[in-house]
């Protein structure tokens, strides 16, 4: 089958920022492919988007931490006649707690999803992005800008995403591919609950960009070819502070903040 259906591929699309990205890309006229583990949630979202008079997105229920998942995803899209024009690497999770006390398999799983899967998808779909003169939006975080005691592996994984994205911005610009790292602050989604954070941490922090503002900033930044996007003035001020304040000052403060949260956390 010829690949003539140009799509925006959104991972982690079953809830939170992923679902908001799907709604926004659809509203801006893009055809979609939605990927996550939960078929029922993906179908519900696809029905919602298709019911609004837009093309119903392709739905692919897949665990991206499985070693051959990127190749399997590419094969399913090819069979559907779809070619990726925009890749939104949104899937990811975090764990809040002391490194030595969190289960090792859960922390390795976080690296598999936040780092390994993201890198593999970027590589597998790069030929499509070049051919379609498209772009890649990678979900980093404010957490990428400093070490994070109490969420050590999560912060490190997002630092990888930011570093990789900035390097690819420069590498791929001459090839007509835009790459943007989106660095949101603590947007309240299912991320926090899954991570086991204390209930009082699930309230939106005052003045921090919400989900809709975050995805709009990411989308607009990608289309404009911006290297890094940090949504909202509060997050921008925090990012600037983390860039200039020495780590020996910020590390104890971050450790205390994570300790107050309790449990296992996220974006």
- DSSP category for residue 35: E
Residue 19: pLDDT band (50, 70, 90) is: very high
Q: What is the mean pLDDT of residues 190-207?
A: 52
Catalytic residue among 93, 154, 155, 219: 154
Q: What is the mean pLDDT of residues 166-184?
A: 97
CATH number at residue 184: 3.40.50.720
Per the structure, the complete domain to which residue 13 belongs is given by 5-261
Residue 266 lies in a domain: no
Residue 13 lies in a domain: yes
Q: Is the pLDDT of residue 92 over 50?
A: yes
For the chain, what is the domain count? 1
pLDDT of res. 206: 58
Crossing angle (nearest 10°) for helices 39-51 and 16-27: 20
Q: How far apart are CA 78 and CA 223, in angstroms?
A: 25
Residue 100 lies in a domain: yes
Residue 267 lies in a domain: no
**Phi-psi region at 182: left, alpha or beta (left = phi > 0; alpha = psi -120 to 50):** beta
Q: What is the mean pLDDT of residues 214-241?
A: 90
pLDDT of res. 65: 95
Is residue 93 flagged as an active site residue? no
Q: Is the pLDDT of residue 221 over 80?
A: yes
pLDDT of res. 237: 80
Strands (E), the chain: 5-11, 31-36, 58-61, 82-89, 135-139, 178-182, 228-229
Residue 147 lies in a domain: yes
Percent of the chain at pLDDT above 70? 84
Tokens coding 194: 């899954």
Residue 208 lies in a domain: yes
pTM: 0.87
Q: Is the pLDDT of residue 194 over 60?
A: no
pLDDT of res. 200: 54
Reduce the DSSP state of residue 95 to 3 states and report it.
coil
Q: What is the mean pLDDT of residues 164-182?
A: 98
Q: What is the mean pLDDT of residues 149-175?
A: 97
DSSP 242-266: HHHS-HHHHHHHHHHHHHHH-SS--
pLDDT of res. 262: 63
User: 211, 189 in Cβ contact below 8 A?
Assistant: yes
Average pLDDT, the chain: 88
pLDDT of res. 53: 84
By CB atoms closer than 10 A (0-12, 13-18, 19+), residue 180 is buried
Residue 191 lies in a domain: yes
pLDDT of res. 4: 81
Q: What is the mean pLDDT of residues 92-106?
A: 95
CA atoms within 13 A on the CB side of 185: 19
Q: Is the pLDDT of residue 252 over 80?
A: no
């Amino acid at each position: 089958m010829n690949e003539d259906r140009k799509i925006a591929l959104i991972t982690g699309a079953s809830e939170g920022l992923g679902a908001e990205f799907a709604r926004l890309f659809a509203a801006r006229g893009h055809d979609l492919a939605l990927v996550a583990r939960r078929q029922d949630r993906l179908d519900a979202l696809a029905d919602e988007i298709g019911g609004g008079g837009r093309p119903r997105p392709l739905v692919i229920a897949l665990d991206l931490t499985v070693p051959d998942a990127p190749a399997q995803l590419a094969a399913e899209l090819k069979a559907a006649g779809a070619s990726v024009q925009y890749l939104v690497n949104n899937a990811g999770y975090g764990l809040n707690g002391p490194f030595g006390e969190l289960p090792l398999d859960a922390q390795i799983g976080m690296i598999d999803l936040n780092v390994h899967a993201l890198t593999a998808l970027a590589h597998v779909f790069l030929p499509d992005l070049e051919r379609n003169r498209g772009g890649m939006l990678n979900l980093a975080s404010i957490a990428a800008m400093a070490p994070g005691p109490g969420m050590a592996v999560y912060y490190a994984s997002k630092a990888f995403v930011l570093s990789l994205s900035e390097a690819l911005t420069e590498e791929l610009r001459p090839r007509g591919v835009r790459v943007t790292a989106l660095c949101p602050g603590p947007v309240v989604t299912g991320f926090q609950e899954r991570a086991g954070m204390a209930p009082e941490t699930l309230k939106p922090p005052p003045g921090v960009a919400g989900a809709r503002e975050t995805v709009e900033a990411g989308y607009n930044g990608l289309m404009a070819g911006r290297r890094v996007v940090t949504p909202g003035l509060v997050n921008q001020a925090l990012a600037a502070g983390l860039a200039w304040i020495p780590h020996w000052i910020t590390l104890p403060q971050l450790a205390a903040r994570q300790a107050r949260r309790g449990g296992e956390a996220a974006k």
